[in-house]
Amino acid sequence: MSESPDFNEMTRDIAEVPAVEVIVTVAVNLMSAAAVKLGLTEEGAKYKDLDEARKLITALAGLLDASTTEISSFHAAPLRDGLKSLQLAFRESSLVPDEPGQGPGEKYTGPVYG
């Protein structure tokens, strides 16, 4: 017997969460997924997929760009640092690195240099 989710309960739960917390949680999930797709986890190359990593990093950069004025620098600074680390890891993992400014998310962040 499968239980269906109680959407009314889920709606009440999410209603109590501040927007900043939702934004930060989504950003951390995107960072984690990108790290996996970059092969930076214990499993290493098992899940490495640079095409997928590019999409996740670009989505993270777009989210951070759009929410900068909505979240405090207390939250934004470590997220931006994490994003830059992922962008640099992507560049290092690429057999043919993108030109500066053309890497994942760089249309939002500008060129990323090591």
The pLDDT, as a whole number, for residue 114 is 76
The pLDDT, as a whole number, for residue 113 is 87
Give the chain as a DSSP string.
Answer: -PPPP-HHHHHHHHHTS-HHHHHHHHHHHHHHHHHHHTT-STTGGGG--HHHHHHHHHHHHHHHHHHTTTS-HHHHHHHHHHHHHHHHHHHHH-SSPPPTT-STTHHHH-----
In tens digits, the chain (114 residues) has pLDDT values of: 556 778 787 777 888 899 999 999 999 999 999 999 999 999 888 999 999 999 999 999 999 999 988 999 999 999 999 999 999 999 999 999 899 999 999 999 999 987
The pLDDT, as a whole number, for residue 105 is 97
